[in-house]
């Protein structure tokens, strides 16, 4: 089965802090949200996730879209924090000739983000001529999560639980768009060792003078699904 490739671009980084305000730097918040989203997506089958950066490094906009295009991503998400007077969340797609999938994905992502984040202003679904949404070859979205220079928004952005909600909203959107399924957790079977090494731990459950009594217990254990042998 072909894996769904999600490219998450943590906006800014390195020598470019992005917007700053209230003791916060955009580049740190975008990285935290991108990493949280990656972690959430690791719970699903058939998804591959790549981040434009996993640490505080400088990348040009072209490097970011080149990475996603060379990889052949199915969706491009560029995480940003707003500034310049305002409050709340808005999402952007390219203001040029975009695919129907780009618009549909924005509808789904936008409403799931607003649902997960809760009681903040919905600034709406917008279009812009941003490099990353224009030059990516796949459907792309650029969410702006809150205003770093707004004291109330910054208060929320300082709470890791709030950043996780932003990631959760995108996770829910992606689950809906790509019909993602949670990985099945393996359940341990009786007597199976949980060791990482090749060691086997034997468990003795009884010692009997009379062989018939040993066999009776062995049969009972076998009936419960254990593998049993009698040693003399």
Task: List the catalytic residues.
Answer: 144
Pick 142 or 174: Cβ nearer Zn ion: 142
Q: Kindly state whether residue 27 participates in binding Zn ion, applying the rule CB under 5 A.
A: no
Interface pick for Zn ion out of 6, 9, 10, 11 (rule CB under 5 A) = 11
* Residues 134, 140, 145: CA angle, nearest 5 degrees: 105
* Nearer residue to Zn ion within complex by CB, 12 or 110: 12
Whole-number Å distance between alpha carbons of 170 and 100: 19
Q: Of the candidates 27, 53, 80, 165, which one interacts with Zn ion according to CB under 5 A?
A: 80
Q: Which of 13, 18, 21, 169 lies at the binding interface for Zn ion (CB under 5 A)?
A: 18
Q: Is 38 in the site for Zn ion (CB under 5 A)?
A: no
Q: Is 13 a residue that touches Zn ion (CB under 5 A)? A: no
**Residue of closest CB approach to Zn ion:** 80
Residues binding Zn ion: number (CB under 5 A): 3
> Of the listed pieces 3-11, 41-49, 97-105, 214-222, which binds Zn ion according to CB under 5 A?
3-11
Inter-axis angle of helices 160-178 and 100-117, nearest 10: 140
Enumerate binding residues for Zn ion (CB under 5 A): 11, 18, 80
């Amino acid at each position: 089965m072909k894996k769904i490739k999600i490219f998450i671009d943590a906006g800014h980084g390195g020598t470019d802090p992005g917007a700053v305000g209230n003791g916060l730097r955009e580049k740190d918040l975008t990285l935290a949200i991108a990493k949280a989203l990656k972690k959430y997506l690791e719970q699903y089958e058939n998804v591959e996730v790549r981040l434009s950066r996993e640490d505080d490094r400088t990348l040009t906009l072209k490097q970011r879209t080149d990475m996603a295009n060379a990889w052949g991503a199915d969706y491009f998400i560029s995480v940003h924090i707003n500034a310049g007077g305002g409050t709340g969340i808005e999402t952007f797609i390219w203001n040029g000739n975009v695919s129907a999938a780009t618009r549909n994905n924005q509808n789904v992502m936008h409403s799931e983000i607003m649902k997960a984040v809760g009681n903040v202003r919905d600034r709406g679904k917008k279009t812009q001529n941003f490099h990353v949404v224009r030059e990516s070859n796949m459907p792309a979205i650029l969410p702006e999560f809150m205003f770093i220079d707004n004291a109330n928004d910054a208060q929320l952005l300082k709470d890791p639980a709030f950043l996780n909600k932003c990631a959760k909203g995108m996770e829910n959107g992606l689950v809906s768009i790509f019909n993602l399924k949670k990985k099945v957790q393996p359940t341990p079977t009786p007597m199976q060792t949980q060791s990482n090494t090749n060691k086997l731990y034997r468990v003795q459950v009884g010692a009997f003078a009379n062989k018939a009594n040993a066999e009776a217990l062995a049969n009972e254990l076998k009936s419960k699904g254990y593998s049993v042998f009698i040693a003399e």
